[in-house]
Structure 1
Amino acid sequence: MDIALTLVGIAGIITSFVLLNGLIQFSTKVLAATWFRNHASKITNVRQNATVVLLVACIILCVLVAGVNGVLIFQGKSVSTFYLNLLGSIPRQFWIQLAIALFKCISLLLLVKLSLPYLLKALDRACVLAQNSDQITANDESVQVFFSTLKKVSANGTWLLALIFCGNFLHVPDIVIKYLRVGLKAYLAISLGRLIIKLLSVMIDTLDALSLRFSSSENVLRYYERFRHLVPALKKALEYILYVAIATLVIQDIDSIAWITTYSDEIVQIIGLYFLCGVFIEISNIILEDLVLKTDHLTDLQRQRRLTVIPLFKSVLKYVTYFVGGIIVLNLVGINPAPILAGAGIVGLAVGFGAQNLINDIVCGFFILFENYYLVGDYIEAGKEEERVVEGTVEAIELRTTHIRHPDGQLQIIRNGEIGSIVNYSKQYAYAKVDVPVLPGLELEQVYQLITRVGEQLQSECSDVLEATQIEGLESFDANNLVIRTVTRVKPGKHLYVQRLLRSKLKAAFDQQLAHNNSDQVGNRAGVNPS
């Protein structure tokens, strides 16, 4: 009989292990398939580790039961009597309180399980109502994300709260309850922060859509398009500030690391300062462009010069703003910037020897601007003769670099210190040079006359042409390859366009002349008498 009881006890332990392991396997699979999809591999490792721990615990219990019962059988004592006396030593009030606590726990968990789906359905209906409450579709996705996050937070927070109540019912140690409450507070704080972030995202998207809808050239909202690229930065800044606030709320309850919360104010101020620097730079750029470019009675040359200087001012303003912001950050964290600035001269001198190229680029940039080598909008060729030549329209001149757009569309960026020799096609006038081959069937004198006629026609039709096309003479004098060089004085930067236009007109004139010559030859042959 005692051996049978021992075997039944071991079988009960093994059965409990199998059931508990199955419950863990099912729970982790559900978590991996729903809330923690991105961490499925980690959950799999946790499941495997839990299985190993349970297996070891099962083996130890089985060995312990078998050992205790074996000793009892060896001593001739009754196993059943031993366990009945052990259970009888526990007060009856304990079993009554345990039964009541288990009943409360089961009732609470059933209540949560049955009521939670109705709460989630109510949130789904609220999401639909929020999306249909306005005529704006740009914020529908943000509303959906907000309510999806709210559903997860509500479900998880409810289960965690139920777990804490169950711990109170079962009279678990106070330290366990304390850390469960800290965990719940941390989760709710993080979740609340996420909800606030999602809500702010909804509000910002709504304001964004309304601003675009009601903006016009007559109201102040016309500037909003310039600030739209700061919207993601605003969201990130608010998100980081909320995370700092959440971390402060959570960490202050943990005595060992509570000292970190003393720096939370400085961190929030640094994040806000970074965003405000970006806003200040953008507002300054708008004011600069309005004051400099929107002045009446500007000549083309004056506008071109101002377009050249504006990127330089913007670049300097950006560097100065962030430099001042860096000094403010040092003051916020309690570091006196004066000694650093005093030593910056010596460090700058040492760095200057190692950054000669940088200094050379900046100095050359100033000379380019102040000596007016080229301006934004000029068509230039630049580069050292032994290296690749850069050609195109100047788009921007900055402290270190010049941006040149090639006629084929590529943006070429060249350091000001390596600009080399410069050929500027946008000063006063330029020449459009075209080499014209003498086609078979045309006499040289006919080609001269055609070029002269087409050049005069081009001058009358195209406002970019300053003078009629001039013939410089024969460029090539091969027997089967006569080439005539022509030049046309045009407005600055228009030489490529006029070259293409002149070639097309010469091609049409040559085709017409060849057709006329061929028709004359056919007529002459038909008029000859065969006799």
Structure 2
Amino acid sequence: MWLNIAFVGLKVLMIIVVAGIVVRVAKMLIRKTFSVRIKGPLKYNERRQQTMSKLLENVVTYAVYFMAIIAVLSAFTIDITGLIAGAGVLGLAVGFGAQNLVKDVITGFFIIFEDQFSVGDYVRIGQAEGTVEEIGLRTTKVKGFTGELFIFPNGNVTDVVNFSIHNSIAVVDVNISYESDIARVERLIQEFLVDLPEKYEQIIKPPELLGVQNITTTEIIMRITAETLPMQHFAVSRGIRRDLKEYLDQKGVEIPYPRMVMVQRSPEESNPSVIAKK
């Protein structure tokens, strides 16, 4: 009896160890394969390849551990045929009650198949905004800019804004005072924009000065736009604002600042009868 128990225990231990090794080796091969595909001459979509790599790793893990569980049950001489048949009936019953789970899996499949978003994309899902960390068949994980992790059941992913597919637009508003010569300021800004593509490699096209965007009670607002690589518009906008401020300071262009106008009346002007005579 003790020999049989030891043999069964050793067999179970070997199954678990082999399953762990198979999972690790399979994940390593999947990552290596997709890494070679990304760097290959066919120029596969890197976003899609990373997503498919994560998905395949999850599928392989589930499949190997499921087979390991079956093997462990066989080691204990449990009738697997009846168990699988019963599991099928139980799964059908659970399927009717787990409609949300089925919905999550189907939605996750279509998210990956249609390439709506991929791992590494910057997206907005509902009120959450951040970088996609992982896409599974049931859930999607999004990491926010400040470090929080949002986990969405795929069935709840309805409205998605993907910022990483197309190029971004950097928008920079420049405020100048009323006393400034608009024509001169426009000429200076045009001269400043000429050298920007050489300084910022994220800029795709030469920046453009759109002109006067708005006129308020205290300032004139001029707008600059620049097309950048996806999600690079934040850094480019900050850099342009800093460089443009220094450039305009060197050229003597005055920025607006709050002013107070005080009107002092003489005693005669404050008298209504005197004002009427005038």
| TM bracket, shorter-chain basis | 0.7 to 0.9
Q: Which residue of 2 aligns with 1:389?
A: 128
Q: Which residue of 2 aligns with 1:55?
A: none
Structure 2 counterparts to residues 349-360 of structure 1, below 5 A: 349-360=92-103
Q: CA deviation at 1:279?
A: 0.9
Q: CA deviation at 1:262?
A: 4.2
Across the two proteins, how many residue pairs are aligned to each other?
Answer: 254
1:514 counterpart SS class:
coil
Among 13, 21, 26, the residue aligned to 1:284: 26
Q: Which residue of 1 aligns with 2:263?
A: none
* CA contact 1:441–1:514 (8 Å) conserved in 2: no
Q: Which residue of 2 aligns with 1:267?
A: 9
Task: Say if 1:264 and 1:462 are closer, same or farther in 2 by CA, change over 3 A.
Answer: same
Among 234, 255, 270, the residue aligned to 1:496: 234
Distance (whole Å) between structure 2 residues aligned to residue 442 and residue 274 of structure 1? 77
* CA contact 1:442–1:514 (8 Å) conserved in 2: no
Q: CA deviation at 1:436?
A: 2.8
Does residue 398 in structure 1 map to residue 136 in structure 2?
A: yes
Q: Which residue of 2 aligns with 1:324?
A: 67
1:281-317 CA-partner distances (Å, limit 9, x unpaired): 0111112222332245345543332222100000000
1:343 counterpart SS class:
helix
Does residue 342 in structure 1 map to residue 85 in structure 2?
A: yes
Task: Say if 1:463 and 1:343 are closer, same or farther in 2 by CA, change over 3 A.
Answer: same
Supply the AA of the counterpart residue of 1:501: G
Q: Which residue of 2 aligns with 1:458?
A: 196
Task: Say if 1:395 and 1:476 are closer, same or farther in 2 by CA, change over 3 A.
Answer: same
Q: Which residue of 1 aligns with 2:259?
A: none
Structure 2 counterparts to residues 425-504 of structure 1, below 5 A: 425-439=163-177, 442-504=180-242
Structure 2 counterparts to residues 223-242 of structure 1, below 5 A: none
1:32-77 CA-partner distances (Å, limit 9, x unpaired): xxxxxxxxxxxxxxxxxxxxxxxxxxxxxxxxxxxxxxxxxxxxxx
* CA contact 1:293–1:303 (8 Å) conserved in 2: no
* CA contact 1:451–1:469 (8 Å) conserved in 2: no
Task: Say if 1:320 and 1:498 are closer, same or farther in 2 by CA, change over 3 A.
Answer: same
* CA contact 1:307–1:376 (8 Å) conserved in 2: yes
Distance (whole Å) between structure 2 residues aligned to residue 456 and residue 407 of structure 1? 33
Does residue 368 in structure 1 map to residue 111 in structure 2?
A: yes
Task: Say if 1:443 and 1:273 are closer, same or farther in 2 by CA, change over 3 A.
Answer: farther
Supply the AA of the counterpart residue of 2:128: V
Does residue 514 in structure 1 map to residue 252 in structure 2?
A: yes
2:152 counterpart SS class:
strand
- Structure 1: gaps spanning 5 or more residues: 1-258, 518-531
Distance (whole Å) between structure 1 residues aligned to residue 165 and residue 11 of structure 2? 51
Q: CA deviation at 1:456?
A: 2.5
* CA contact 1:315–1:398 (8 Å) conserved in 2: yes
2:45 counterpart SS class:
helix
Q: What root-mean-square deviation, in Å, do the aligned CA atoms of Structure 1 and Structure 2 show?
A: 2.8
Distance (whole Å) between structure 2 residues aligned to residue 327 and residue 364 of structure 1? 29
* CA contact 1:383–1:418 (8 Å) conserved in 2: no
Name the one with the larger helix percent: 1
* CA contact 2:210–2:225 (8 Å) conserved in 1: yes
Q: CA deviation at 1:430?
A: 1.8
* CA contact 2:177–2:218 (8 Å) conserved in 1: no
Q: Which residue of 2 aligns with 1:312?
A: 55
Task: Say if 1:290 and 1:266 are closer, same or farther in 2 by CA, change over 3 A.
Answer: same
Q: CA deviation at 1:409?
A: 4.5
* CA contact 2:101–2:138 (8 Å) conserved in 1: yes
Distance (whole Å) between structure 2 residues aligned to residue 450 and residue 419 of structure 1? 47
Supply the AA of the counterpart residue of 1:303: E
Task: Say if 1:428 and 1:515 are closer, same or farther in 2 by CA, change over 3 A.
Answer: closer
Structure 2 counterparts to residues 67-146 of structure 1, below 5 A: none
Distance (whole Å) between structure 1 residues aligned to residue 132 and residue 42 of structure 2? 19
Distance (whole Å) between structure 1 residues aligned to residue 219 and residue 36 of structure 2? 55
Q: Which residue of 2 aligns with 1:36?
A: none
Which is higher, the Rg of structure 1 or of structure 2?
Answer: 1
Distance (whole Å) between structure 2 residues aligned to residue 453 and residue 403 of structure 1? 45
Task: Say if 1:262 and 1:417 are closer, same or farther in 2 by CA, change over 3 A.
Answer: same
Among 412, 423, 429, the residue aligned to 2:161: 423
2:12 counterpart SS class:
helix
Name the one with the larger strand percent: 2
Task: Say if 1:401 and 1:473 are closer, same or farther in 2 by CA, change over 3 A.
Answer: farther
Task: Say if 1:506 and 1:353 are closer, same or farther in 2 by CA, change over 3 A.
Answer: farther
Q: CA deviation at 1:446?
A: 4.0
* CA contact 2:185–2:253 (8 Å) conserved in 1: no
Task: Say if 1:436 and 1:415 are closer, same or farther in 2 by CA, change over 3 A.
Answer: farther
TM-score when scaled to structure 1?
0.43
Task: Say if 1:339 and 1:486 are closer, same or farther in 2 by CA, change over 3 A.
Answer: farther
Structure 2 counterparts to residues 297-308 of structure 1, below 5 A: 297-298=40-41, 301-308=44-51
TM-score when scaled to structure 2?
0.78
1:185-206 CA-partner distances (Å, limit 9, x unpaired): xxxxxxxxxxxxxxxxxxxxxx
1:107-135 CA-partner distances (Å, limit 9, x unpaired): xxxxxxxxxxxxxxxxxxxxxxxxxxxxx
